[in-house]
């Protein structure tokens, strides 16, 4: 039997993080085994099929296309080698409490005009708001994302330190937005991306106006064939790079000798390696896969953390086009603040907090979908509960 002289690394989790880690390690010459407990890779971004419908289970908003492009470029590839991307126009549709609706145009000037219709003078303010948001976005994407996050000092960036007051960095997102705009509809439009972070706009730093830059300037995109194309592409790349992917492989323990991880136990088998990369939820890895002496935090620490809220999602396949619905629909039919207080402060499960209606192509109608225009909605009413 021939043994490889390469160092072996086990990656736990086949979501985007695990797949990205596995690709990076394999391209640097490591022998990589990726263990995924589900039957398919993709993690929260995986899909399932039922009765001829394919459902993307998690993400539906493809934002920041440059991040994906940069990832594939690291391996001499491009997104277009794996899937076709289209910028959606309009980006999404919003229904307001008063029954009115607004389609958010991809074109910035057109959106600016919509803002002006709602609040006179808001056009130039939007320019200013977004130019600040761009500074935050650029610093975050060019610098922060590459930091190991071992210390807060890593995030003391010269541009941000010098401009902290102008960029309103010590303020909350909701205060920051209200310095520019008053109209409740504009505020809702700007605050909804922050809800993606699983937090209240009033408790989220103004730094996150970078999300508005991503939304408005960089746009909402759609991979032809559905969001599952991303996981498929990353899985394909991993295999091309030589990663061995094991699905239905549930890791029950990380084996540690002294201060060194020496492998994992999965499905009652032992996999030896020189290092382990855990790309599953941190709390799960620490509390369930590692013995107490090796944990950074105890149970009490985790009990006192504010976890992102969970949501109950209904995947509903509909075999016809539903009038009035676009690819992405947001229903701002109830007060954000009230909902956020119920979820985060009072820890109440809200009966219905409708965030979006997702939709997906129906495979049986795939020929109709070829031009990327006709979609068959599946509805998803997000009911956000306490974690």
Ligand X SMILES: Cc1cc2nc3c(=O)[nH]c(=O)nc-3n(C[C@H](O)[C@H](O)[C@H](O)COP(=O)(O)OP(=O)(O)OC[C@H]3O[C@@H](n4cnc5c(N)ncnc54)[C@H](O)[C@@H]3O)c2cc1C
When asked if residue 247 is in the footprint of ligand X (CB under 6 A), the reply is no
Total of chain residues touching ligand X, rule CB under 6 A: 24
User: 184-195 and 173-180 helices cross at what angle (nearest 10)?
Assistant: 150
- Enumerate residues 136-175 that contact ligand X by CB under 6 A: none
Site string for ligand X, 267-296 (x = CB under 6 A): ------------xx---x------------
Q: Which stretch binds ligand X (CB under 6 A): 3-11, 29-37, 98-106, 362-370?
A: 29-37
Reading across the β-sheet that carries 316-317, which strands appear in turn? 316-317, 376-379, 359-360
When asked if residue 357 is in the footprint of ligand X (CB under 6 A), the reply is no
Among 88, 251, 340, 369, binds ligand X (CB under 6 A): 251
Q: Give pairs for 247-253: CB < 8 Å, separation 24+.
A: 247/14, 247/36, 247/38, 247/39, 247/40, 247/41, 248/36, 248/37, 248/38, 248/39, 249/35, 249/36, 249/37, 250/35, 250/37, 251/12, 251/35, 251/37, 251/280, 251/289, 252/289, 253/289, 253/290, 253/291
CB of 358 to ligand X, least distance (A): 8
Q: Are 286 and 351 in contact (CB under 8 A)?
A: no
Q: Which two tokens stand for residue 312?
A: 């109950």
Among 36, 114, 191, 232, binds ligand X (CB under 6 A): 36
When asked if residue 37 is in the footprint of ligand X (CB under 6 A), the reply is yes
When asked if residue 237 is in the footprint of ligand X (CB under 6 A), the reply is no
Q: Are 171 and 306 in contact (CB under 8 A)?
A: no
C-beta closer to ligand X: residue 160 or 245: 245
When asked if residue 226 is in the footprint of ligand X (CB under 6 A), the reply is no
Site string for ligand X, 101-140 (x = CB under 6 A): ----------------------------------------
When asked if residue 59 is in the footprint of ligand X (CB under 6 A), the reply is yes
CA pair distance 313, 12, nearest whole angstrom = 26
Cis peptide before 90 (omega within 30 of 0): yes
CB of 296 to ligand X, least distance (A): 18
CA pair distance 284, 286, nearest whole angstrom = 6
C-beta closer to ligand X: residue 37 or 378: 37
CB of 26 to ligand X, least distance (A): 17
CA pair distance 15, 279, nearest whole angstrom = 8
Tell me the torsion sign for CA atoms 329, 332, 337, 341.
negative
Residues 6+ apart with CB under 8 A from 343: 309, 350, 353, 384, 385, 386
When asked if residue 18 is in the footprint of ligand X (CB under 6 A), the reply is yes
C-beta closer to ligand X: residue 16 or 332: 16
When asked if residue 58 is in the footprint of ligand X (CB under 6 A), the reply is yes
When asked if residue 38 is in the footprint of ligand X (CB under 6 A), the reply is yes
When asked if residue 309 is in the footprint of ligand X (CB under 6 A), the reply is no
Among 44, 142, 364, 370, binds ligand X (CB under 6 A): 44
When asked if residue 31 is in the footprint of ligand X (CB under 6 A), the reply is no
Q: Which stretch binds ligand X (CB under 6 A): 56-64, 108-116, 124-132, 168-176?
A: 56-64
Contacting residues toward ligand X, per CB under 6 A: 12-18, 35-38, 43-45, 58-61, 250-251, 279-280, 284, 313
């Amino acid at each position: 039997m021939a043994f490889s002289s390469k160092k072996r690394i086990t990656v736990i989790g086949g979501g985007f993080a695990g797949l990205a880690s596995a690709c990076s390690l394999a391209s640097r010459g490591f022998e990589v085994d990726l263990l995924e407990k589900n039957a398919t890779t993709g993690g929260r971004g995986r899909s399932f099929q039922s009765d001829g419908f394919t459902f993307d289970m998690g993400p539906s908003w493809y934002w920041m296309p440059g991040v994906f492009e940069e990832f594939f470029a690291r391996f001499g590839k491009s997104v277009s080698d794996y899937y076709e991307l289209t910028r959606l126009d309009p980006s999404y549709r919003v229904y307001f409490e008063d029954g009115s609706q607004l389609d958010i145009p991809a074109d910035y000037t057109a959106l600016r005009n919509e803002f002006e219709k709602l609040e006179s003078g808001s056009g130039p303010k939007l320019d200013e708001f977004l130019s600040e948001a761009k500074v935050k976005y650029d610093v975050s994407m060019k610098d922060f994302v590459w930091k190991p996050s071992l210390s807060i000092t890593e995030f003391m960036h010269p541009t941000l330190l010098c401009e902290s007051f102008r960029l309103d960095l010590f303020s909350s997102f909701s205060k920051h937005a209200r310095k520019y705009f008053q109209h409740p509809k504009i505020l809702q439009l700007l605050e909804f991306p922050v809800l993606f972070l699983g937090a209240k706009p009033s408790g989220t730093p103004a730094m996150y106006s970078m999300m508005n830059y991503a939304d408005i300037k960089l746009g909402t995109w759609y991979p032809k064939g559905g969001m599952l194309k991303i996981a498929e592409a990353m899985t394909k790349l991993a295999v091309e790079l030589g990663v061995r992917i094991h699905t239905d492989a549930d890791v029950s323990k990380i084996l540690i000798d002294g201060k060194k991880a020496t492998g994992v136990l999965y499905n009652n088998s032992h996999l030896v390696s020189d290092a382990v990369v855990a790309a599953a939820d941190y709390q799960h890895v620490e509390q369930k896969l590692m013995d107490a002496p090796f944990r950074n935090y105890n149970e009490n620490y985790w009990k006192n953390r504010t976890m992102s809220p969970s949501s109950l999602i209904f995947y509903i396949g509909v075999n016809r086009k539903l009038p009035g619905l676009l690819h992405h629909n947001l229903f701002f039919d109830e007060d954000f603040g009230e909902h956020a207080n119920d979820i985060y402060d009072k820890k109440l499960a809200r009966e219905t907090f409708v965030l979006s209606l997702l939709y997906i192509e129906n495979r049986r109608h795939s020929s109709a979908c070829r031009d990327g225009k006709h979609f068959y909605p599946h509805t998803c009413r997000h009911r956000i509960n306490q974690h």
